[in-house]
Amino acid sequence: MLEQDLILAGGTGVLIPQTDTTADDFTGSYAAGFQNFNDYFGSDTCSFGCEWDMVSAGSMSSGTLNLTGMDSDPLGSLNDTGTPAETTGDTFMGTASADAGNAGRWTLPLGITVNTDETGTIDMDIFQASGTLLFWMETDGEGVSLGPLEAANFAPKALHMKGKSVPKAQAKPTIKPKR
């Protein structure tokens, strides 16, 4: 989807069919990411707003999401000194609550630990397209985050993914002319 209003031109999004809203299917290993825009410390630190990015992997079990990953904080919005940083081993954890009135929607206070001592919580809503594809977005007033949560319990088996060339028969089908 592409927003084409003159006032808000350029907004984009995706439409994904919701094929599974079963809570039990939101379990197992997941890879996750989001991009966050914020002004945590006011305009003194980031005159045009701050941004940080997260990628991680972990699991969802019994309603609790545990992820470990890395953050890129190019404008220093995750520390009170405004120092840009890239960190690894950061943790993201929270217990999701299903929304009884909206199947496939969850609320999640996401606890974040960066550099083992920088901690905070952001409120996220999770929307379940299926047991293997979910999206989350921040719902508090502190910032705007959005990104995917995807099942990580699969392994691509295509030949080209293993560094091998694709056989000619696979790359281009041969059609024999009729005589």
Return the biggest CA–CA distance within the chain.
78
CATH topology of domain 23-171: Porin (2.40.160)
Neighbours of 129 (CB within 10 A): 19
Nearest to 91 by CA among 62, 108, 111, 63: 111
Neighbours of 102 (CB within 10 A): 11
Return the pLDDT at 170.
47
* Model pLDDT, residue 163: 47
Q: Which of 47, 61, 37, 63 is nearest to 137 (CA)?
A: 37
Burial (CB count within 10 angstroms: exposed 0-12, middle 13-18, buried 19+), residue 150:
middle
Distance between CA atoms of residues 54 and 74, nearest Å: 12
Give mean pLDDT in consecutive 10-residue pieces for the chain, a chain of 179 residues.
75 84 90 86 60 93 94 83 87 94 94 82 94 92 88 56 47 49
Tokens of 148: 């995917």
What predicted TM-score, i.e. pTM, was given to this entire model?
0.75
Domain boundaries, the chain: 23-171
Give the pLDDT score at 117.
72
pLDDT at 171: 46
